[in-house]
Structure 1
């Protein structure tokens, strides 16, 4: 069995499901946790009604709604759920404006707490990204004692790269689609 890169700094064996997805040629992306200085490959595990769940080589999973991170598992202090309906609508339609983001986070004492953020979505225009014409959208959010800015690069109706907040324990993650 292959050794996996781990987002939490400790190497483990790649889970069989990840290896099967890799062998099947499932879509791939690279995820980096900025504060930890770690990165790992991920493969698309399932897709249903605008939600995609991606599995990492270390067993971590990330779920996205239309390219927006809504759940994490295996990172510690995980995002259990997020309501990003208004944000998703703004990004999909190419509009700017205000959106509320609600994030349910697992605390260190295994309780779920809800965090509410008021966000502003702005258009940052066209950008060239590794030979690809993209459109950059920024989401600036503020809540009680926490502020963050998410960046979304879109091309052809899909998110091709992003920098997103993954909760107060993980912080920012960089996500990049990997072309075969």
Structure 2
């Protein structure tokens, strides 16, 4: 891998995963991210810069504040169209999954009663069934991303959803 951090590895950090989740609903500045996640402004700025440099965030707008410029970053769901897409490296996928698992554990500790869904399966199905399942998962995740609202918006509930679905190698 080159000296540049890959896009997938850039998000393989619990704080960065939380930032991406928040920036799905609305663009935010480093100061806003710092307040919401109880970080220092410098720490929030650092994580935003890493995500931006990896192509995970775009600058939505800039505004003058007290003699400086505050950038408002937005997460591009489905990837930044300006970043060339290529197949992810398996090591990058594993690093991302380890970080995601740790984040899911953190979120589970904050869980409250309400509708839930959890499932795990390793099985064999026809390609047609697999495609239907993947399409359904993708549709559910797109719905949640598109309908995401800013933190603590009146009438909303704080939810968590994660998914992984992939075809496995079948060593014979």
TM-score grouping bracket, smaller chain normalisation? under 0.3
**Higher normalized strand content (fraction of residues):** 1
* TM-score, L = length of structure 1: 0.26
Greater share of residues in helix = 2
Q: Which structure has the higher relative contact order (CA within 8 Å, separation 6+)?
A: 2
